[in-house]
Amino acid sequence: MTQDRHGRYRFLAGAILPALALYAVFVLSPYAQAFYLSLTDWTGVSGQVNFVGLDNFTRLFGDPLFLAALRNNGLMLLVVPVVTIALGLLLAVLVTFGGRRGSAIRGASTYQTAYFFPQLLSLPIIALLWQFVYHPNDGLLNGLLRGIGLDGLARTWLGDPHLALWAVMAVLVWSSVGFYMVLFAAAMGSIPAELIEAATLDGAGRLTTLWRIVLPLLRDTVQVAFVYLGVLALDGFAVVQVMTVGPGGPDNATEVMGLGLYRNAFTFSKFGYAAAMGVTLFFLTLTLAVLAMRAGRRERVELA
């Protein structure tokens, strides 16, 4: 018995330790190096590295450009996940329960495929396409507005400091909503039909069934979606880099933390300062994920 136990432990160690070693080398080690560089003034080129302690972080929270980026990312964090999840849920409900007697509509898979299509394109390609859509003279959006007689609504969407960030957020929502529609529709499809039938027999209407049965059962899926969309909102680098002038938009209206990190590292050769931005972004993202997970766990405990 003892030999079998030791043999099992050796097998487990042989299976787990190589994976842990790879994880430490390729995941934990880069994080540790980034944390160390954030405490230095390394330029990325020179072999000389001077330890400066928390000076980079002190400068960071006194940097007006970084604070503007922090505000913009905060607004994106409030808008992008909420709007994307709301639209994804609405479309999923219409596809899954929009037919007769609360059944799926005809051609549901076709609609899901059409809405999922933007996921086949990378964010830089999506940003480039929407840059043409937003073009003030030849863009599709202004052309459509002028074509239907709404010339007064035509704008320089990416050139107006008050509209540029909203235009960027609209692209992020458009590119993401199809994926979460499919995700929510799949989660709705896994709900036991007996629950829906029982609610119908008890006289519950569609809205009551959706509010009292379907949405509570989707809480875990919505929680995961919020975390992923929150990470997307705290990034936004690719879309801003490609779409906006500068980049960073007029009067830094679309400045985001990822863009400041890239600029300081590869334009100004301030890798230590850029690493401090990366560490700050890491802890903001980690805090978002922890808060979302704890909120979901607290709700499950209260329901139990």
- Per residue in 7-16, pLDDT (tens digit) is 677 777 788 8
pLDDT at 304: 47
- For residue 45, give both structure tokens: 């080129």
d(CA 115, CA 178): 4
Q: What pLDDT digit, counting tens, does each position of 48-98 carry?
A: 888 998 999 999 989 999 999 999 999 999 999 999 999 999 999 888 877
261, 284 Cβ separation under 8 angstroms: no
pLDDT at 296: 64
d(CA 169, CA 251): 17
**If you average pLDDT over residues 177-184, what whole number do you get?**
93
How far is the CA of 252 from the CAs of 130, 164, 182, 245, in angstroms? 19, 10, 35, 10
Can you list the positions of beta strands (E) in 101-199? none
Q: What pLDDT digit, counting tens, does each position of 278-304 carry?
A: 999 999 999 988 888 887 665 554 444
d(CA 235, CA 76): 9
pTM of the predicted structure, to 2 decimals = 0.87
CA 188 centroid distance within chain: 22
Residue 267 vs residue 193, higher pLDDT: 267
d(CA 248, CA 165): 10
| Cis peptide bond upstream of 247, omega within 30 | yes
d(CA 182, CA 109): 9
Mean pLDDT of the chain: 86
d(CA 56, CA 256): 18
Helix (H, G, I), strand (E, B) or coil at 269: coil
d(CA 50, CA 37): 10
CA 68 centroid distance within chain: 19
Q: What pLDDT digit, counting tens, does each position of 93-112 carry?
A: 888 877 666 667 777 788 88
Domain boundaries, the chain: 1-28, 55-303
247, 241 Cβ separation under 8 angstroms: yes
d(CA 278, CA 284): 10
Helix (H, G, I), strand (E, B) or coil at 40: strand
- The CATH class of 55-303 is mainly alpha
DSSP 25: I
